[in-house]
Amino acid sequence: MHKPKSNQAPVGSVQCENTTLNLLKVNDFVAKAIRERLPDILVINVCSSPGSGKTTLMQETGKRLHDKLNMAVLVGDPETERDAIRMRDVGINALQIVTGGMCHIEAQMIYQALDHIDLTGVDLLFIENVGNLVCPAAFDLGEDFRVTVLASTEGDDKPKKYPRMFLTSELLVVSKSDLLPYVPFSVEAVTKDAREVNPDIEVMSLSSLKGDGMDQWCDWLIEKVKTKKGILAES
């Protein structure tokens, strides 16, 4: 049974369910409705700080998988439609969700957006969340997997500083790996910290521009799509 990510808290935090109102209960209800509405489409919620390379990663993923998977993207930003335009420029079906200054996407935004994007035949739906490592961590969007993208230029100390995001993610992607020789970032250190927060989190490094690690990323997506559709992955 899916555990609402709004209920997951970092080690050491105190839950006071008997004295506080779970304000995210309605969001979790809508997230459940999204899962029921998309039973055969893999939904990936991609989170990160601004500038981590999420949009470039989506573009390059679409280019590599266009003959293997039918992909669509819901893009969240406080303002403008620039990222959705970037997707469409490379042939990816995309719809912009303008949050009007809100620092995250909520499930009801996704549920409403589903009425405005054609998902006929779609295998994989990405939700590109608003750039923020705090607010989006609490909001379940009906995703199958949450992926946190952390650029090598951001520093390797983020898992302990923003633990809830890493606790609620199934995969950590270290982006801009081509810059690792030039910045003080340790993949080993970030992996250690991330797994102390969430022992089950997977970790991979890639460079969207240079292509390093992109095959591993695409294979991960294909495997998850097959699993969602009930198709056994080829050995």
pLDDT at residue 8 is higher than 70: no
pLDDT confidence tier of residue 48, bands split at 50, 70 and 90: very high
Q: Which CATH architecture group holds 23-225?
A: 3-Layer(aba) Sandwich (3.40)
The end-to-end CA distance of the chain, in Å, is 27
Determine contact, residues 104/140, Cβ cutoff 8 Å. no
* HEC profile of 147-208: EEEEEHHHCCCHHHHCHHHHHCCCEEEEECHHHHHHCCCCHHHHHHHHHHHCCCCEEEECCC
CA–CA separation, 112 and 134 (whole Å): 23
CB atoms within 10 A of CB 39: 8
CA–CA separation, 215 and 175 (whole Å): 14
Q: For the chain, which residues make up each domain, given as ranges? A: 23-225
Query: Tokens 């989006």 belong to which residue?
Result: 136
Please give the pLDDT value at position 1: 54
38 strand-pairing partners: none
Using one digit for the tens of pLDDT, what is the confidence trace for 51-99? 999 999 999 999 999 999 999 999 987 677 787 888 898 889 999 888 7
CA–CA separation, 134 and 95 (whole Å): 24
pLDDT at residue 114 is higher than 60: yes
